[in-house]
C-alpha cells in the first residue's frame, strides 16, 4: 500500500471543495469536515447527525467523541468552515436520517472504500497527482496547521502522536524542507 500525501496546495483544496460541492453536499461536507477536524475516516463515518447537532437541530459549536482507533476521548470546537458545510448539508437531508454520511440506502454510513473513491476521484479531477486517500484528510489538517505557523508540538498533540518527528513525517515535511527554513533566513 502506498503512503498517501496531504494536499499541500490551498488552491487545489478549494478546487476539490468546489468539485465535491457540485457533485454532492454529503461528499463536500465529508471532505470539509475531514480537513478541518483532523478526525480519522473511521471516526468521521461513525458520526450521527445527533453528534453534531443539538436537540433543536442547530450545529453544535463543539464535538465530543471517543476515537475508534485509540479509544481516547476527543473534544474540540468546529471552525466556521465546518459549521457552514454542516449547516448546508444537514438542512438538505431527510429529517429521519440518523447517520451523518448516509449511503444511498440511507440506513447506514457510506463505506471506507466509497469514501476513498470519492476523495481520490475528486483529487484526480482537480489535477492532483500525489497518492491520495481517506487519510489524506487528516494529513491535510496537520499540514495546513503546520504551514499556518502552529507549533509542531501542538499539532502532535492534536493528532495524538508520540513525538514531533512522527508528526513531521506524517504530514510530509522532509528534512530538505526544514533545511530550507535555515537557508532562507
55-114 residue pLDDT tens: 999 999 999 999 888 888 889 999 999 999 999 999 999 999 999 999 987 689 999 999
Q: Looking at residue 175, what is its pLDDT? A: 66
Contacts of 146 (CB under 8 A, 6+ apart): 152, 155, 168, 171, 173
99-148 residue pLDDT tens: 999 998 768 999 999 999 999 999 999 999 999 999 999 999 999 999 99
| 179 has a pLDDT exceeding 90 | no
Buried b (16+ CB within 10 A) or exposed e, 9-26: eeebbebbbebbbeeebb
15-38 residue pLDDT tens: 999 999 999 999 999 999 999 999
Q: Which residues are catalytic?
A: 40, 69, 135, 138, 161, 170
Q: Looking at residue 48, what is its pLDDT? A: 96
Domains, the chain, in order of start with CATH, read 10-138 (1.10.443.10)
What's the whole-model pTM score?
0.91
Amino acid at each position: 500500500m502506498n503512503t498517501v500525501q496531504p494536499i499541500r496546495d490551498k488552491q487545489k483544496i478549494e478546487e476539490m471543495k468546489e468539485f465535491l460541492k457540485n457533485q454532492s453536499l454529503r461528499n463536500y461536507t465529508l471532505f470539509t469536515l475531514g480537513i478541518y477536524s483532523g478526525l480519522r475516516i473511521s471516526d468521521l463515518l461513525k458520526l450521527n447527525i445527533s453528534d453534531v447537532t443539538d436537540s433543536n437541530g442547530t450545529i453544535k459549536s463543539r464535538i465530543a467523541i471517543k476515537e475508534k482507533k485509540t479509544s481516547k476521548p476527543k473534544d474540540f470546537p468546529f471552525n466556521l468552515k465546518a459549521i457552514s458545510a454542516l449547516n448546508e448539508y444537514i438542512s438538505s437531508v431527510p429529517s429521519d436520517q440518523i447517520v451523518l454520511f448516509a449511503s444511498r440506502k440511507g440506513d447506514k454510513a457510506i463505506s471506507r472504500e466509497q469514501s476513498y473513491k470519492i476523495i481520490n476521484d475528486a483529487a484526480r479531477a482537480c489535477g492532483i497527482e500525489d497518492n491520495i486517500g481517506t487519510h489524506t484528510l487528516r494529513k491535510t489538517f496537520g499540514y495546513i496547521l503546520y504551514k499556518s505557523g502552529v507549533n509542531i508540538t501542538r499539532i502532535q498533540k492534536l493528532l495524538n502522536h508520540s513525538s514531533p518527528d512522527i508528526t513531521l513525517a506524517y504530514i510530509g515535511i522532509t528534512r530538505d524542507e526544514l533545511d530550507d527554513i535555515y537557508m532562507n533566513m
